[in-house]
Structures are given as C-alpha cells and as structure tokens.
Amino acid sequence: MQAELLVSVGNAGIWLDEHIRHLESHDILPVARAANDATYETDFGRIYLLAQDGALQVRIESPDEAALTTLQGSITHYLAETDPVLAKTITWSGVAPAPGQPKNFRKMTVAQVQPLSSWLLRMTLKGEDLAPFDQRGLHVRLMFPEVPGDRETVWPTIEPSGAVHYPDGDNSLTVRVYTIRQIRPESGEVDIDIVRHAGGAFADWSETAQPGDAVGMLGPGGGYFPPEGWLAIGGDDTAVPAILRILENRPNQTGGHVVIGLHSHQAPFEIALPANFMIDWVSTADLVDAMKAIAAPATGNGTYWFAGEAEQARALRTHFKSTLELPAERRSSAAYWRRTEPA
C-alpha cells in the first residue's frame, strides 16, 4: 500500500538536511541518503523523502493499512511538533487515512486482573484481530473514559491528516503507554503488566477494574527486540515488562547481563533467565553506575539496552554512544517517564 504527501517548505533541501540531522540525534538513521533525498526503513514500511522545487515529497510504502496508518500518524505528529503551520497543510494522496477509528485501534475488554507481586499487577485483555500487535513494536496506548458514567464510550478517530483525534470534555480518555508483556493472538488475549503506585491514573484504575470493563488499545509502536548476540539490558520498575519480554525472546546461547533498579519498598522476584545470563538487582539510585560497570564481551559485538527515567536514560545514551562508541543498531536508551512529569 502506498500514500504520498506534498508540502511547501521554502528551501526544501536545507529543511531536509536539518531534519535528517535532528532524527540522527535520536539515532534514527536513513538507510540511503543522496543530495536531496533520504530513505528510512521501519517495521511499518519504507519512507522516502525528496526535496524538490521548494517542496518536500513524502512517500510511504507499507504492507497493510494498519502499518500505513501508524506511519501517517507518526509523520503528521512529527511535522506538527516541529512546524505547526506546515502540519496544517497535510493532505495525503494514494491511500488516504480512512474516516472512523484508526485501523490500528482495537476495543478490548478486561478478562482478568491478578497481582504478580506487591508492586506489579497483570491485566489480561481480550479482543479480536490481534495478530498485527505481535508483529511490530513492543508498546501500545491503552485508554479508558476519564469521567465515569453509563454513557457509551467515545473512542479516538482518525483525522484526514493522519493524526489521531482524542475526544474531549465529558468524553475525554485517560491514555497511557504500556508494554505488551505477552500476546496470544490465537485466543485474542494480551497481558499488560502494570507497576502499582498510588496516584497513577491507569495504575489506580487497574486496581479496581472488573472483567468486562472496556479498554481501548492503539498500536503497536515503539520499542524493538534487540539483535542477536550478547546483550546488556537494564531499567527500573517501569521497564521490567519490556525487559522480561525481550529476555523470553532471546536465543538461548547468546548470554548477557541484566540490571534492574528497584525502589526501597520493592522486592526482587524470581526470573527465568536465558542461558548464560546473569542478573543484578540494585537500587534505582545505583542503576546508571551498575549499567556502566557491565563489561563488554571480548568479541565486541554486544548490544546495550536501557529504559527508565529520562535523566538516567540520557546519561546512558551518552555513555553508549560516546564512551563505548556503539553503532546505533547496537544501542538503545529510552525514557519511559520523567521526574518532572510523574504521569
């Protein structure tokens, strides 16, 4: 499937150069680059960028409509953040965003909620046509009505630009990003592990959620399974679901080192590690130092992965890139939350 976008940007060549450099600062690198064009490969399809005659041309090629919808929304979101005026001119040709709910949205229902530990809760959701959620990305956006009531829930819709429109007022939704811990498309089930903490909108709601309660799910997107080979992987409590899912999908012979940072009120629990992996449980204050202390393999082909608080993620991103001099495909450091934005 293919879609195209043409926007006027003045000096398109300079605009393209600046934005390619911006993406590179976030380790998003083109697979092909020429004087006035660039190509990006993603799990959702291929993106072509061409600067020509004072305009930027964007072409997307995706294997299905859900993947195309994801890329259209991502490009629209990026343009809106970097140039709100430019974003207002977005009109897609080819396969344009279809009206109604996004193709990558599913209405789910709560099947079961069970505690895994004193600080971790598992919510099992049921829905239909979940195979695409097992193919691309680790994360999803989950949502439920912000204002409780008996009226029918209004779910998000897709705008002509490809942006997702969330309802407002009494129909507003609480929206949070979570990791798919396990997915069973054949039975229509998804497990989401939620860190229990008072004051978190979704965490509080999950404590009292009942079977049959409706939950919207949008995605997948973000996150990936690191390449094969030796792996250093770490994070705080918010990263535990992603860490465990990644470990469960590792080849048994590769080996690696796991570091998990916990708060003082949280206790470690038993984890089934792949062969040749070791694990350290540390305090969150010591998490960055513990990750830096991991010795790289003698072969030099190790991958380093981290997720957690934004300041810690920034420090380790610099360490992976500048100190260890790892290539982009062998490093990842993601901010899952910020101290200044607890939600």
Quote the domain boundaries for residue 138. 105-221
In a domain, residue 64? The reply is: yes
38 — phi, psi (to 5°)? Answer: -150, 150
pTM for this structure? 0.91
Work out the percent of the chain whose per-residue pLDDT is above 90.
75
Give the span between the Cα atoms of 319 and 317, in whole angstroms: 5
pLDDT above 60 for 342: no
pLDDT above 80 for 253: no
Looking at the structure of the chain, the number of domains it has is: 3
Pairing of strands 256-262, 231-235: parallel
210 and 235 assigned to the same domain: no
Mean pLDDT computed over 290-311: 91
Position 177, amino acid: V
Which two tokens mark 10? 């003045």
292 — phi, psi (to 5°)? Answer: -65, -25
Predicted confidence (pLDDT) per residue in 167-203, tens digit: 999 999 999 999 999 999 999 999 999 999 888 899 9
Mean pLDDT computed over 116-130: 96
User: What's the confidence (pLDDT) of residue 119?
Assistant: 95
The model's confidence at residue 261, banded by pLDDT at 50, 70 and 90, is very high
Position 187, amino acid: S
Is there a contact between 108 and 215 (Cβ–Cβ < 8 Å)?
yes
Mean pLDDT computed over 224-228: 89
The model's confidence at residue 148, banded by pLDDT at 50, 70 and 90, is confident
User: What's the confidence (pLDDT) of residue 147?
Assistant: 86
Which two tokens mark 247? 């470990």
119 and 84 assigned to the same domain: no
User: What's the confidence (pLDDT) of residue 321?
Assistant: 93
User: What's the confidence (pLDDT) of residue 27?
Assistant: 82
pLDDT above 80 for 15: yes
132 and 169 assigned to the same domain: yes
Collapsed DSSP state (helix, strand, coil) of residue 332: strand
User: What's the confidence (pLDDT) of residue 309?
Assistant: 96
Position 79, amino acid: L
Q: What's 207's domain CATH number?
A: 2.40.30.10
The model's confidence at residue 341, banded by pLDDT at 50, 70 and 90, is low
pLDDT above 90 for 87: no
Mean pLDDT computed over 79-87: 84
In a domain, residue 330? The reply is: yes
* Domain stops at, among 193, 221, 249: 221
The answer to whether the peptide bond before residue 220 is cis (omega within 30 degrees of 0) is yes
Give the span between the Cα atoms of 143 and 174, in whole angstroms: 5
Is there a contact between 98 and 68 (Cβ–Cβ < 8 Å)?
no
| First-residue to last-residue Cα distance in the chain | 37
- Which residue reads 């299905």 in tokens? 64
- Which residue reads 């796991």 in tokens? 258
Pairing of strands 331-337, 303-309: parallel
In a domain, residue 184? The reply is: yes
214 and 122 assigned to the same domain: yes
Angle at alpha carbon of residue 283, lines to 275 and 258, rounded to 5° = 15
Collapsed DSSP state (helix, strand, coil) of residue 152: coil
Which two tokens mark 154? 């209004």
User: What's the confidence (pLDDT) of residue 80?
Assistant: 87
User: What's the confidence (pLDDT) of residue 281?
Assistant: 98
Position 220, amino acid: P
Q: What's 10's domain CATH number?
A: 3.30.310.50
Q: What's 257's domain CATH number?
A: 3.40.50.80
